[in-house]
Structure 1
Amino acid sequence: MEPLLRLTGVNKSFGALTVSDNVTFDLPKGQALGIIGPNGAGKSTLFNLIGGALAPSSGMVMFKGQDVTAQPASARCRAGIARSFQIPHPFVGMTVFENLLVASSFGGAGHHDAREACHDILERTGLLPKANRPAGSLTLLERKRLELSRALATGPELLLLDEIAGGLTEAECHALVETIQAIHASGVSIIWIEHIVHALLAVVDRLIVIDFGKIVAEGAPRAVMADPMVQEIYMGISVDDQAA
């Protein structure tokens, strides 16, 4: 079966600095993939390459069997790729509901009734009671939920989550994870970058570790996290420390 997303030999350089180095992987339809790595490893650049905010220096990005390497972010959004951002930037002077209506007009969902679809999304993400509140009045957790809701309003088949749990309390993080689990269970494929590893492990089916722009480990999440090399790269636990 053709994968939903396929990256083949994707490279991105800024002058002499290589930030994505021969990145190659497939994402089957319906899978949730986690991506971890130290700060500066190239995770956000990879999201920009998948979402279309950046064009690769070389390599190919395929989505639903189509070459989208040269397509801009707007075209990829209409094709079914949606992204949340680490720092939410809603239209603060608009209501929560209006934010979703704007997002729905840019995606490829083709909602027969956009208002009904946005109502359903707000119910799924726990924001329905805040539908008529100005987005600028929301708490951080509510803004994260709005960021997620706006992405869903475009009708994605692939949802890119960029450190959406960052800055939340433990209880808030747990509540958000439950929402993401429900979204994944509904059939939406997910790629999630996250530093809060326990949140990631509660959702993802597979884990990729990136360091200096390269994929250095890939596989079942808990097996990857148990790899001594990954522990040294990501958590600073050296092999010698473990042997002591």
Structure 2
Amino acid sequence: MTSSADPILALAGIRKRFGAVVVADGIDLAVRHGEALGILGPNGAGKTTLFGMVTGNVRPDAGTVTFESRDVTALSPARRCRLGMARSFQVPQPFSGLTVFENLVTAAAFGAGEHESATYDRCAEILERCGLLPLANSRAGTLRLLDRKRLELARALATKPRLLLLDEVAGGLTERECETLVTLIRDLRNTGMTVVWIEHVLHALTAVADRVVVLHGGRLIAEGTATEVVRHPAVAEVYMGIPMDA
């Protein structure tokens, strides 16, 4: 039986390597219901691979992934999506030949297991929330970057997630575009949704995340608020080459 005190997501002893490269070396991590967790780390730290192991796109060599007190380590990505996990990708991957609305209906029908016609009203509401309703009949392949990022987020929301995983959604955006996206994600937080967000744009994370962890060398090397982790000696050494005893 699941208790509200139990974490919505728990990783225990997660290990993964590709040849000689270790991307996860016994990672333990718990995410609380309704929490916004930020994940920082240099390029190549294994952040996206970690998301892949959470969602089932990548199989860990060892360890367990638990979602709402259920071991989902062996479940397919589709099954995990039906249970309430959704993710966005760093590079938006819409169905370019379909309209914006058709992209959402497809995500809702297959991701949430609903009959297509039953999803129309909900998809329209999601488009309005994400600022995409005026573009509902536009081909996804014609969208500018900000709207492609919004669509990526909207498609994830169409699957009815309780856990939303965001992979560098602010990357490549202007300052004003980033603010627009941060406002949208903050509004989602206010609905009680749990968010785990990988991001290099630190001020975007600071505006949303309750807690931030830093991944490097396959391990979590720091945890705390955004301000606390950027001041952590190990993080300074990773990002700026300043020795921990300096």
Q: Which moves more between the two structures, 213-222 or 23-32?
A: 213-222
Aligned partners of 2:51, 2:67: CA distance in 1, in Å?
14
Aligned partners of 1:93, 1:65: CA distance in 2, in Å?
39
Q: Do 1:80 and 1:107's aligned partners in 2 also have CA atoms closer than 8 Å?
A: no
Sequence identity percentage: 52
Q: Do 1:50 and 1:61's aligned partners in 2 also have CA atoms closer than 8 Å?
A: yes
1:29-49, CA deviations, whole angstroms, 9 ceiling, x for partnerless residues?
000000001111110110000
1:128-148, CA deviations, whole angstroms, 9 ceiling, x for partnerless residues?
110111111110000000000
Q: Which amino acid aligns with 2:109?
A: S
Q: Paired residue for 1:122?
A: 127
Aligned partners of 1:156, 1:230: CA distance in 2, in Å?
32
Q: Paired residue for 1:49?
A: 53
Q: Which amino acid aligns with 1:29?
A: H
Aligned partners of 2:93, 2:205: CA distance in 1, in Å?
23
1:28-78, CA deviations, whole angstroms, 9 ceiling, x for partnerless residues?
100000000111111011000001101110001000010000111111101
| Residue 34 (structure 2) pairs with residue 30 (structure 1) | yes
TM-score by length of 1: 0.95
Q: Paired residue for 1:10?
A: 14
Q: Paired residue for 1:89?
A: 93
Structure 2: tracts of 5 or more residues without a match? none
> Cα distance 1:124–1:109, how it changes in 2: closer, same or farther (>3 A)?
farther
Q: Which moves more between the two structures, 131-140 or 225-234?
A: 225-234
Q: Which moves more between the two structures, 103-112 or 57-66?
A: 103-112
| Residue 141 (structure 2) pairs with residue 136 (structure 1) | yes
Aligned-residue CA RMSD (Å): 1.7
Q: Do 1:160 and 1:190's aligned partners in 2 also have CA atoms closer than 8 Å?
A: yes
Q: Paired residue for 2:202?
A: 197
Describe the SS at the equivalent of 1:207. Answer: strand
| Equivalent runs, 1:91-106 vs 2, <5 Å | 91-106=95-110
Q: Do 1:34 and 1:207's aligned partners in 2 also have CA atoms closer than 8 Å?
A: yes
Q: 2:162 aligns with which of 124, 135, 157?
A: 157
Structure 1: tracts of 5 or more residues without a match? none
Q: Which amino acid aligns with 2:101?
A: F
Q: 2:71 aligns with which of 62, 67, 72?
A: 67
Q: Do 2:112 and 2:158's aligned partners in 1 also have CA atoms closer than 8 Å?
A: no
Aligned partners of 2:208, 2:160: CA distance in 1, in Å?
20
| Residue 189 (structure 2) pairs with residue 167 (structure 1) | no
Aligned partners of 1:201, 1:110: CA distance in 2, in Å?
36
Aligned length: 241
Describe the SS at the equivalent of 1:113. Answer: helix
Describe the SS at the equivalent of 2:93. Answer: coil
Deviation at 1:109, TM superposition (A): 7.0
1:57-103, CA deviations, whole angstroms, 9 ceiling, x for partnerless residues?
00010000100001111111011110100001111111000000000
| Equivalent runs, 1:211-226 vs 2, <5 Å | 211-226=216-231
Q: Do 1:103 and 1:154's aligned partners in 2 also have CA atoms closer than 8 Å?
A: yes
Q: 2:236 aligns with which of 228, 231, 236?
A: 231
Aligned partners of 1:147, 1:50: CA distance in 2, in Å?
18
